[in-house]
Amino acid sequence: MSTASLKLGFIGLGIMGAPMAGQLLKGGHQVFVQTRSGAPAELLSAGATACKSAQEVAQQADIIFIMVPDTPHVADVLFGEKGVAAGISKGKTVVDMSSISPIETKAFAAKINALGCDYLDAPVSGGELGAKNATLSIMVGGTEASFAKVKPLFELMGKNITLVGGVGDGQTAKVANQIIVALNIEAVAEALLFAAKAGADPARVRQALMGGFASSKILEVHGERMVKRTFNPGFRIELHQKDLNLALSSARALGVSLPNTANAQELFNACAAHGGKAWDHSAMVKALEKMANFEIGQDAT
């Protein structure tokens, strides 16, 4: 099926959602948008059509994308008053790109499927930068046919697009991703804190490490944030806490121990206790700095 004739919907226009919807507009598609705080002016000027409710988006669009913070928000968008389920009709497709519970995702999909519509879970990784540059990694759960229909649209928003398996498997992959990201942030934070406290220039240490086996996207992007003290959110700590809660609760149900994931969560909890739930997740380093009574940017004594 050609995507050129499709009308698209996008619900949730925050740090990630707004630039993702913008990529669909750049692709030449008609995009109907809705968000609690009102559609950003830049999207409207680019040609997006603002809707008053998720129901209205579902009535207008053939494929409806959702990008909201947590499981209850997705439930409300889908099944709340004037939600997607109230406006959707047979043959349409719902694509949830939020990062939420794999178990609840399967339940949501079953309800949407019962209405004669397809459902994909397609959480993303890459943060605000990836959304703005259309370089997101997209982890998809659903049928081959549904994936094939939506894949050209995913390609407008991302580069690494993988059908992981059935519904819910995309969310499982995202939880795994968030475990890796959190533990890498902790590793980079510990390394740069150690180097700075030992008297080395953390910026130059980071530069040196970027050329070796320790190199990573986290060292590149978040290591720079730690050195430059730029903690305005690309991805908020409170959202990473939510993702690690999913990891730890699922691990308990599976009988799996994730000790370092639990430790990373405690560091995020410490940041939140110091008023940092809205800091970028790279600010996990601040919890380590509190314990060391030393900040990466200060001179060692």
Catalytic residues: 174
One DSSP character per residue, the chain reads: --STT-EEEEE--STTHHHHHHHHHHTT-EEEEE-TT---HHHHHTT-EE-SSHHHHHHH-SEEEE--SSHHHHHHHHHSTT-HHHH--TT-EEEE-S---HHHHHHHHHHHHHTT-EEEE--EESHHHHHHHT-EEEEEES-HHHHHHHHHHHHHHEEEEEEEESTTHHHHHHHHHHHHHHHHHHHHHHHHHHHHHTT--HHHHHHHHTTSTT--HHHHHHHHHHHHT--S-SSBHHHHHHHHHHHHHHHHHHT---HHHHHHHHHHHHHHHTT-TTSBGGGGHHHHHHHHT--TTSPP-
